[in-house]
Amino acid sequence: MNDAKLGASHFDDHFDKLIAGSNVNFCDSAGVHFEIDKFSLGFDEACFSHISYSRENFDKLLSLRSRLFRKIYVREFFVFVDNCEIPLEFIRELMVNFEIGVLQCSVGTPSELDDALAIMADFPGRKTELNLHFLPDDEKLLSIPPMEKLAIQKLRHCYFTLREQITGLGLDNFSSISVELVSNLIKVHKYLYFNFNIDAMPSDGWIEILQLVSGINLERTVKLTIESLTLTRWLRDCDITEFPKAGDVRGEFTINAMENDRLVRLSYRNCRIQIDPPLIFTRFFFNPRPVVITMSNFVNLS
């Protein structure tokens, strides 16, 4: 729908189909996507797209939502913000009587982050996930309450278009994040994902992270995106060089899986480490590329 002002018939047709084909007590996924001058709203397969901001349109959606259900359980609810201000009053009215399994917010500026945290505070005790498409200052980052998942990443996965967007919010300018900051975040959040190249961190900083993930008495997973050259340097500093074999022990590391000279999995103490794509030792000088390393103290990565 691209109308600046939506007619009642458009709303009625969509909601009639939604009512006819849905379990009015349960919704697998729902979400709202806010843009500068419009927003979209979805419940499973039903989607109302490109609705212009107006109190009239807000009220119309709230009224028709009430026709569909008084109370509903939503397994996952997404709030995707695209460089604009969140109309908090509307979203709070929309989510009245929602029971939410996981509330996920995706934001790209400090003000959007403040609004997202305000929404999350309305659902205490629920699982929350936060995708940041910028790097806040350390004080702000450390003030974020415990999350099921906290990600800092350039790619934005849009709930409605199912497409990825690359943001221009400066993450390309960052190649390092302090080990002390990462360590403090590990203590708070269950799952951390840094999806921008962290190449300036020394190998002893990586070891500090592994020691914390291995030793903390809580379920923790940390994902880092780095260049293959950086990971190779880290491994060589730990005496893991070309052609290790599965079962090899190098200091406190154990090689768990190799595939055609590619390092797939290893472990450090109680921390399992997955490399994706697997690291090619024999060609790393000629094929530098980003790799993602996942470090977890509870997931069986085999």
Domains of the chain, by residue range, sit at: 8-173
| pLDDT score for 229 | 86
Beta strands in 260-296 (DSSP E): 262-268, 271-280, 290-296
Under 8 Å between Cβ of 80 and 42: no
d(CA 60, CA 165): 30
Under 8 Å between Cβ of 136 and 177: no
Average pLDDT over residues 34-46: 83
Q: Percentage of the chain surpassing pLDDT 70?
A: 80
Under 8 Å between Cβ of 241 and 248: no
Q: Which tokens is 203 given?
A: 């190998």
The pTM score is 0.84
Instruction: Show Cβ contacts of residue 1 under 8 Å, excluding neighbours closer than 6 positions.
Output: 10, 48, 49, 50, 51
Helix or strand or coil: residue 114? helix
Identify the helix (H) or strand (E) that includes residue 191: strand 191-195
pLDDT in tens, 126-177: 899 999 988 888 999 999 999 999 999 876 655 554 444 444 344 555 556 7
| pLDDT score for 69 | 72
Under 8 Å between Cβ of 186 and 212: yes
Helix or strand or coil: residue 23? coil
d(CA 191, CA 198): 17
The DSSP bridge partners found for residue 67 are none
Distances (CA, A) of 147 to 113, 143, 223: 13, 11, 15
Region of residue 239 (left: phi > 0; alpha: psi -120 to 50; beta: else): left
Model confidence band, residue 224 (pLDDT cutoffs 50, 70, 90): very high
pLDDT in tens, 252-292: 999 999 887 788 999 999 999 999 998 876 544 445 678 99
Distance of CA 248 to the CA centre of its chain: 34
